[in-house]
Amino acid sequence: MAIRLNKDREVVEKIRDGLVAKGGYCPCRIPRVPEYKCMCEEFRKQIADPDFEGYCHCMLFYKTKD
């Protein structure tokens, strides 16, 4: 398993700017609740799933199975 940033630098830049503006909370979600603090709870659960491969909700991170 490996976790990497999205290969699209423009996406990474926009999401990082959004994270700064929202104090570290997912810029793709409205509420500022602990489960949306980056790296969000949803993606942490997906990371724990050995069969999951894909992006986090905001597409900043990508998890591979190998």
Residue boundaries of the structural domains of the chain: 2-64
- Is residue 4 predicted with pLDDT exceeding 80? yes
Confidence of residue 65 (pLDDT cuts 50, 70, 90): confident
For the whole prediction, is pTM greater than 0.95? no
CA distance readout (Å), 34 to 7, 26, 38, 51:
27, 10, 9, 26
CB 35 within 8 A of CB 42: yes
Q: What is the DSSP letter of 23?
A: T
Tens digits of residue pLDDT in 45-63: 999 999 999 999 999 999 9
